[in-house]
Amino acid sequence: MIRAMAKVAANESCDNLDEKRIVPKMMLRRRLTRSARIMVYLADACGFSEGSVVYGSAYGEMQATADIVGAIDANEPISPTAFQNSVYNTAPSYFSLLHGNKEEILTVSSGDDTSANVLQTGALQAVIKGKEVLLVCSEAINIPNIDEVNTCTDYLESGVALTLLPTEQEANIEVVKKAHADYAPSLWAMLDVFDACDGKNGCIVTLEL
């Protein structure tokens, strides 16, 4: 069962992510990467602050990675902050720090299939844990000169989230696969579910494991 959903997207940078309310401690707020800001915003929009999380990104922390590569190319010291923020689980880790969440985090990165695999992994987690699980996929690739290599998305920042609850009830929603041209393909499977359930309550979908 899909309990809650949210999405956000912008051609360059997502505005109005309500960081000051969601992350009141300034020191933590200043440390957040763009992906982490999107993550905590989507989780808040879904009303989720504690529980297992499955997070997906095809490209990971692009700005931190670019900073590290730039430092290596310039023969300069690598920033400890960039190194810390370069891992794929950066965004959900900041979410857990924010809320004191001690539940399991799983991170998935598998190119265009990322959100499809997040859905499968999230369904398994929901069945195993027997409770609600947060699924988030996001991409934040708004870095200098990205237009020279970007051919897959109009939105340089985007994210989609939903929460899953295991249920014995039969599926009542059919999810149709389609192209979401403005978004990175790594988000498409999750967006398919979002579109199928948008404006409906009590949506139940079948996920093949």
pLDDT band per the 50, 70, 90 thresholds, residue 207: confident
Query: How far, in Å, CA of 132 to CA of 163, rounded?
Result: 6
Contact predicate 125/92, CB 8 Å: no
Mean pLDDT score across all residues of the chain: 95
Does the pLDDT at position 173 exceed 80? yes
3 state DSSP class of 165: coil
Give pLDDT, residue 119.
97
Give pLDDT, residue 113.
97
Give pLDDT, residue 35.
97
60, with CB counted inside 10 A (0-12, 13-18, 19+), is: buried
Residues 6+ apart with CB under 8 A from 81: 31, 64
Q: Average pLDDT in the 25-35 region?
A: 94
Strand locations in 50-132, DSSP E?
Answer: 52-56, 105-108
* pLDDT tens digit sequence for 42-55: 999 999 999 999 99
Does the pLDDT at position 193 exceed 90? yes
Percentage of residues in the chain having pLDDT higher than 70 = 100
Does the pLDDT at position 153 exceed 90? yes
Contact predicate 110/58, CB 8 Å: yes
Query: How far, in Å, CA of 141 to CA of 138, rounded?
Result: 10
Give pLDDT, residue 5.
98
* pLDDT tens digit sequence for 76-122: 999 888 998 999 999 999 999 999 999 999 999 999 999 999 999 99
Give pLDDT, residue 208.
79
Delineate the domains of the chain, giving CATH numbers in brackets: 2-197 (3.40.47.10)
